[in-house]
Amino acid sequence: MSFASEFREFAVKGSVVDLAVGVIIGAAFGKIVDSLVKDIIMPIVGAVFGGLDFSNYFVALKSPPAGYSGPMTYDALTKAGVPVFAYGNFITVAINFLILAFIIFLMVKQINRLKRQAPAAPPAPVEEVVLLREIRDAVRR
């Protein structure tokens, strides 16, 4: 089998195509969850904990360069080359992960519930077994 035909056979297998579809849908779903966390949940959580934006929760590990007169925000300090310990971004990403994991858990749970079918009826006994049972029952009488 040539390399090209072997690769074609591999690429068109159902599992590879399913994986590709799953990755594409997962990327799109990740963007939706990212927006949900960033635009809806984090502002509420930030308001509850007294801050408006977790991305500005950080600790500068070094002083800004001499003559720096910009704002003391995460974006401005990182652009100025100041190393920062950005625990606020980590909190945002962790909440994003928890929400995504919970939603995927609910989806898998529903899919498994739909896949569960009633147990199949036992197969009918073969004809010889039926005849032997009839003979047994006739002898007992």
| Residue 80 within a domain | no
| Residue 78 within a domain | no
| Residue 73 within a domain | no
- Could you count the other beta carbons within 10 Å of the beta carbon of residue 68? 14
| Residue 47 within a domain | yes
| Residue 127 within a domain | yes
| Residue 71 within a domain | no
pTM of the predicted model over 0.75:
no
Question: How many folded domains does the chain comprise?
Answer: 1
Q: Count Cβ atoms within 10 A of the Cβ of residue 92 and give its class: 0-12 exposed, 13-18 middle, 19 or more buried.
A: buried
Domain of 125 in residue numbering reads as: 3-52+86-140
Q: What is the pLDDT of residues 12-28, one digit of tens each?
A: 776 777 788 888 888 88
Report how far residue 11's alpha carbon sits from residue 32's, in angstroms, rounded to the nearest whole number: 29
Q: What is the pLDDT of residues 87-105, one digit of tens each?
A: 988 887 888 788 878 888 8
Return the CATH number at 112.
Answer: 1.10.1200
| Residue 60 within a domain | no
At 4 the three-state DSSP class reads: helix
